[in-house]
Amino acid sequence: MKPSGLADSPLFPRKIEEKAKFEISPSKITERKHATMTPRYHDSMIATIARSVREVGKEVSTYRLTVQEKETLAEIIYYFRRGKCRLSENEIARIAINILIEDFKTDKKSCMLSRIAEVMKA
Protein backbone atom coordinates (compact mmCIF):
# COMPACT_ATOMS: atom_id res chain seq x y z
CA MET A 1 0.00 0.00 0.00
CA LYS A 2 1.24 3.51 -0.80
CA PRO A 3 2.08 5.98 1.97
CA SER A 4 -1.05 8.01 1.06
CA GLY A 5 -3.22 5.06 2.10
CA LEU A 6 -6.82 4.57 0.97
CA ALA A 7 -7.05 8.07 -0.49
CA ASP A 8 -5.52 6.76 -3.76
CA SER A 9 -8.06 3.94 -4.00
CA PRO A 10 -10.58 4.12 -6.88
CA LEU A 11 -13.30 3.65 -4.25
CA PHE A 12 -12.44 7.06 -2.78
CA PRO A 13 -12.59 9.59 -5.65
CA ARG A 14 -10.63 12.81 -5.36
CA LYS A 15 -12.36 15.99 -4.34
CA ILE A 16 -14.37 17.71 -7.05
CA GLU A 17 -12.47 20.99 -6.54
CA GLU A 18 -9.17 19.36 -7.52
CA LYS A 19 -10.64 17.95 -10.75
CA ALA A 20 -12.45 21.19 -11.52
CA LYS A 21 -9.22 23.20 -11.51
CA PHE A 22 -7.91 21.29 -14.48
CA GLU A 23 -11.02 20.35 -16.43
CA ILE A 24 -12.94 23.63 -16.58
CA SER A 25 -11.53 26.51 -18.51
CA PRO A 26 -12.68 30.10 -17.80
CA SER A 27 -14.29 30.30 -21.25
CA LYS A 28 -16.62 27.38 -20.42
CA ILE A 29 -17.92 28.86 -17.14
CA THR A 30 -21.42 30.30 -17.45
CA GLU A 31 -23.05 32.58 -14.95
CA ARG A 32 -26.27 31.32 -13.41
CA LYS A 33 -28.76 34.00 -12.49
CA HIS A 34 -31.19 31.63 -10.79
CA ALA A 35 -28.63 30.45 -8.23
CA THR A 36 -29.41 33.36 -5.88
CA MET A 37 -33.21 33.33 -6.02
CA THR A 38 -34.93 33.78 -2.69
CA PRO A 39 -37.68 31.41 -1.59
CA ARG A 40 -41.19 32.49 -2.43
CA TYR A 41 -42.55 32.07 1.07
CA HIS A 42 -40.15 32.71 3.92
CA ASP A 43 -40.37 30.75 7.15
CA SER A 44 -41.31 33.94 9.01
CA MET A 45 -44.27 34.49 6.66
CA ILE A 46 -45.44 30.91 7.14
CA ALA A 47 -45.15 31.27 10.94
CA THR A 48 -47.11 34.53 10.85
CA ILE A 49 -49.91 32.97 8.82
CA ALA A 50 -50.03 29.87 11.03
CA ARG A 51 -50.31 32.09 14.12
CA SER A 52 -53.11 34.18 12.64
CA VAL A 53 -55.10 31.12 11.52
CA ARG A 54 -54.82 29.56 15.00
CA GLU A 55 -56.48 32.68 16.39
CA VAL A 56 -60.25 32.22 16.60
CA GLY A 57 -62.02 34.31 13.98
CA LYS A 58 -65.09 36.10 15.29
CA GLU A 59 -66.15 38.04 12.21
CA VAL A 60 -68.69 36.31 9.98
CA SER A 61 -68.26 36.29 6.20
CA THR A 62 -70.04 34.43 3.46
CA TYR A 63 -68.48 33.60 0.10
CA ARG A 64 -70.06 32.11 -2.97
CA LEU A 65 -68.01 29.33 -4.57
CA THR A 66 -68.43 27.47 -7.82
CA VAL A 67 -69.11 23.74 -7.77
CA GLN A 68 -65.58 23.09 -9.04
CA GLU A 69 -64.02 25.23 -6.26
CA LYS A 70 -66.10 23.44 -3.62
CA GLU A 71 -65.13 19.99 -4.99
CA THR A 72 -61.45 20.95 -5.09
CA LEU A 73 -61.65 22.16 -1.49
CA ALA A 74 -63.18 18.82 -0.51
CA GLU A 75 -60.27 17.01 -2.26
CA ILE A 76 -57.74 19.17 -0.40
CA ILE A 77 -59.42 18.48 2.94
CA TYR A 78 -59.50 14.74 2.20
CA TYR A 79 -55.80 14.76 1.22
CA PHE A 80 -54.73 16.38 4.48
CA ARG A 81 -57.01 14.22 6.63
CA ARG A 82 -55.44 11.09 5.12
CA GLY A 83 -52.08 12.49 6.25
CA LYS A 84 -53.43 12.94 9.80
CA CYS A 85 -53.58 16.74 9.51
CA ARG A 86 -57.02 18.15 10.06
CA LEU A 87 -57.73 21.27 8.05
CA SER A 88 -61.20 22.69 7.72
CA GLU A 89 -62.63 24.61 4.79
CA ASN A 90 -62.59 27.70 6.98
CA GLU A 91 -58.89 27.29 7.84
CA ILE A 92 -57.95 26.80 4.19
CA ALA A 93 -59.84 29.96 3.23
CA ARG A 94 -58.17 31.92 6.02
CA ILE A 95 -54.73 30.64 5.00
CA ALA A 96 -55.36 31.75 1.41
CA ILE A 97 -56.59 35.17 2.53
CA ASN A 98 -53.57 35.63 4.82
CA ILE A 99 -51.15 34.67 2.03
CA LEU A 100 -52.73 37.32 -0.19
CA ILE A 101 -52.54 39.88 2.64
CA GLU A 102 -48.83 39.17 3.30
CA ASP A 103 -48.09 39.30 -0.44
CA PHE A 104 -49.92 42.64 -0.67
CA LYS A 105 -47.96 44.04 2.30
CA THR A 106 -44.59 43.18 0.73
CA ASP A 107 -45.19 44.80 -2.67
CA LYS A 108 -48.53 46.43 -3.45
CA LYS A 109 -47.82 47.13 -7.13
CA SER A 110 -46.61 43.70 -8.23
CA CYS A 111 -48.46 41.40 -5.82
CA MET A 112 -50.74 38.67 -7.09
CA LEU A 113 -53.89 40.67 -6.30
CA SER A 114 -52.67 43.65 -8.33
CA ARG A 115 -51.84 41.46 -11.32
CA ILE A 116 -55.21 39.70 -11.19
CA ALA A 117 -57.02 43.03 -10.81
CA GLU A 118 -55.27 44.32 -13.95
CA VAL A 119 -56.40 41.28 -15.94
CA MET A 120 -59.96 41.59 -14.64
CA LYS A 121 -60.05 45.29 -15.54
CA ALA A 122 -59.30 44.59 -19.20
3-state DSSP assignment of residue 8: helix
What's the confidence (pLDDT) of residue 10? Answer: 62
The top-scoring range by mean pLDDT among 8-12, 33-37, 103-107 is 103-107
> How many angstroms separate the CA atoms of 112 and 103, rounded?
7
| Residue 97 scores a pLDDT above 60 | yes
Evaluate whether 97 touches 52 at the Cβ level (below 8 Å): no
| Residue 29 scores a pLDDT above 50 | yes
Phi and psi of 13, rounded to 5°? -65, 155
- Number of residues assigned to the chain: 122
Residue spans of the domains in the chain: they are: 5-36, 43-55+62-113
Confidence of residue 35 (pLDDT cuts 50, 70, 90): low
